[in-house]
Amino acid sequence: MDKNLNLASLAFLILFLFCFEQNEASFESKHFVLVHGSGHGAWCWYKIATLLRSAGHRVTAPDLAASGIDLLQAKSLQSISEYFKPLRDVMEGLASHERVILVGHSLGGLALSQVMEKFPERIVRVLIALAVFVSALMPGPELNVSTVNQESLRRSPPVLDSHYTYDNGPNNPPTTFSFGPTFLASTVYQLSPIEDLTLANMLLRPLRLFSDEDMSRQITLSQKNYGSVRRIVVLSEEDKLVPKDLVEWMIRHNPPDEVLKVKGSDHMVMMSKPAELGAILQKTASKYC
């Protein structure tokens, strides 16, 4: 009996080691480029970056202009293209045959859209967490960015204690927007750990506001370029900032390749459900890349 048990244990150990070696041999490290949203910076990806790197992947998380620790000030930005320049710099710095997966949150989805148009040969798959975006960020060849922006504004919740600045005078459109603590706690981070809300209140910066005309000029998308890249929508079901009906509206007008849902997450899905989002990113990367 003991002999049979030992033989069975040995067989199990050999099988385990064989499977482990097979998994190690079949693993392929991916390069994820994580793009933050309005007012945030690369810092908001700290949980996801840790998970992906711990799994053996490469992660790049740039600060967009006047965000995070970038030295520019929001009011100095002249166009949305200038705001997105750090992401374009990342793309231009890639090796000629390097494969990357773009992941955009909130306003970062518009940054993704621009580089999908300008660098289609540099991108293998794009994972766009559109449902967790601060504003509507999945325009397309048949869905103009200004239309998406206006629809998002129409469905936006009250901004509460958030505030605008009018650097060009009170009779001109506002130039920057800053999240208020009450708005963050009730609408953006309501399901995230309190430590992450505290971090956001310490690190958030004003967002430069751009006109629909500027966005339409800088983000013009074609089926040939933008349309050649696979798109994934990750929908955060408890997101108060971008409601489910808005996400479904975008999906109807600009269908992606796949829609995945995260339950029990607020707008900051990378903060409130990092394990779930990390698993989705790795699973979809394996599926599509």
DSSP classification of residue 242: S
Helices and strands: H and E segment counts in the chain: 11, 9
* Cβ 64 vs Cβ 37: under 8 Å: no
Q: What is the pLDDT of residue 122?
A: 56
**pLDDT over 70 (residue 120):** no
pLDDT mean over 75-104: 91
Amino acid in the structure at residue 104: G
* Cβ 221 vs Cβ 118: under 8 Å: no
**pLDDT over 60 (residue 269):** yes
Measure the CA–CA gap between 22 and 16, rounded to whole angstroms: 10
158 three-class SS = coil
pLDDT tier at 121 (50, 70, 90 boundaries)?
low
Q: What is the pLDDT of residue 123?
A: 55
pLDDT mean over 36-57: 97
In the block, residue with structure tokens 């690190």: 203
DSSP per residue, 122-139: GEEEEEEEGGG-SS----
- Global pTM reads 0.86
Amino acid in the structure at residue 37: G
Domains of the chain, with CATH numbers? 31-155+211-288 (3.40.50.1820)
Is 266 among the catalytic positions?
no
Assigned token pair, 157: 């919740």
Q: What is the pLDDT of residue 26?
A: 60
Please tell me the number of Cα atoms within 13 Å of 6 on its side-chain side: 3
Is 239 among the catalytic positions?
yes
pLDDT tier at 285 (50, 70, 90 boundaries)?
confident
**pLDDT over 90 (residue 15):** no
H or E element that contains 247: helix 244-253
Model confidence over 202-258: pLDDT tens digits? Answer: 999 999 999 999 999 999 999 998 898 889 999 998 999 878 888 899 999 999 999
Please tell me which residue in 63, 239, 265, 272 is annotated as part of the active site.
Answer: 239
Angle, helices 244-253 vs 145-154, to 10°: value is 160
Residues facing 31 on adjacent strands? 58
DSSP per residue, 166-203: -TT-TTS---EEE--HHHIIIIISTTS-HHHHHHHHHH
Q: How many CB atoms lie within 10 A of CB 264?
A: 12
Sheet-wide strand order for 163-165:
163-165, 176-178, 207-208
Please tell me which residue in 36, 57, 105, 267 is annotated as part of the active site.
Answer: 267
Non-local CB neighbours of 161 within 8 Å, separated by 6+ positions: 180, 181, 182, 183
Is 105 among the catalytic positions?
no
Please tell me which residue in 67, 106, 113, 272 is annotated as part of the active site.
Answer: 106
pLDDT tier at 126 (50, 70, 90 boundaries)?
very low
Model confidence over 146-196: pLDDT tens digits? Answer: 999 899 899 889 999 999 999 999 999 999 999 999 999 999 999 999 999
Higher pLDDT residue, 95 or 262?
Answer: 262
**pLDDT over 50 (residue 131):** no
- In the chain, where do the E strands start and end? 31-35, 58-60, 100-105, 123-129, 163-165, 176-178, 207-208, 230-236, 258-262
Q: What is the pLDDT of residue 100?
A: 87
Q: What is the pLDDT of residue 19?
A: 41
% of the chain residues with pLDDT over 90: 66
Sheet-wide strand order for 258-262:
58-60, 31-35, 100-105, 123-129, 230-236, 258-262
Amino acid in the structure at residue 162: S
% of the chain residues with pLDDT over 70: 85
